[in-house]
Amino acid sequence: MDPVVTPVVAFGVVKGLTYVAGFITAAWAANKVTQNWGNNPANNLEKLGISPKQQYEDYKKLLEDKAKFIEDKTEEHFKDLKERREKLEEENKKLLEKLSNTSDPQERTKILEEVGNNKKEISDINKTITEGINKIIKNFDTIGRNPPLTQEQFQDKSKRLDLGSWWNWGLIAFCVIIAILIINFVRKILSKFASMFG
């Protein structure tokens, strides 16, 4: 081979390898970034207040007894709302007793308005609790219930990438853009290095 061609071929091979290395790095980085910060069941459950260490135990509890699981999670995550709901229900009982003993139309209207406001707040609390519990169960369903998973299978499935999430696509795009910037930087350095020989 001609001595001038060898550095050109070597430069071309190195340039091609930078693209391959950049692609592999971008894929690896996108995978790690989406696992740690992306939209997947493990991260969603953590945002809902279930620590990564607790997730598999909760998964097993859900499989054993769904009703008890819902009761436990309601108590654990929505204790304040549940107490507020009970307080409002008790207040409504007292107001209804007071209503039955009152004949003044203005007072009755005021009591009925308070009862209505309390019922609306109770309804909002019930909706908040139901939505929260449903989000938790939905994330466990996304991981899968049939057949029951081992802890390793559970962890693998809980970290799987959700390609339907715009957030995940944004993270992937970010990683690709960073990889392109790094590849271009390396190419410029290699071009300067090659021009010294050519």
**Please, what sign has the CA dihedral across residues 87, 93, 94, 98?**
positive
pTM flag (> 0.85): no
**Would you state the pLDDT for residue 188?**
84
CA distance 176 to 182: 10
Q: What is the mean pLDDT of residues 129-143?
A: 91
pLDDT confidence of 5, banded at 50, 70, 90? low
CA distance 47 to 42: 9
Q: What is the mean pLDDT of residues 179-198?
A: 78
**Would you state the pLDDT for residue 11?**
65
Q: What is the mean pLDDT of residues 130-149?
A: 87
**Please, what sign has the CA dihedral across residues 82, 88, 89, 90?**
positive
**Would you state the pLDDT for residue 176?**
87
| Boundaries of every domain in the chain | 1-40+165-198, 50-160
* DSSP type of residue 4: T
pLDDT digits (tens, 9 = 90+) for 158-180: 888 777 788 888 888 898 888 88
pLDDT digits (tens, 9 = 90+) for 11-50: 677 677 777 877 888 888 888 888 888 888 888 899 888 9
pLDDT digits (tens, 9 = 90+) for 95-135: 999 888 888 889 889 989 999 999 999 999 999 999 999 99
pLDDT confidence of 191, banded at 50, 70, 90? confident
**Would you state the pLDDT for residue 3?**
55
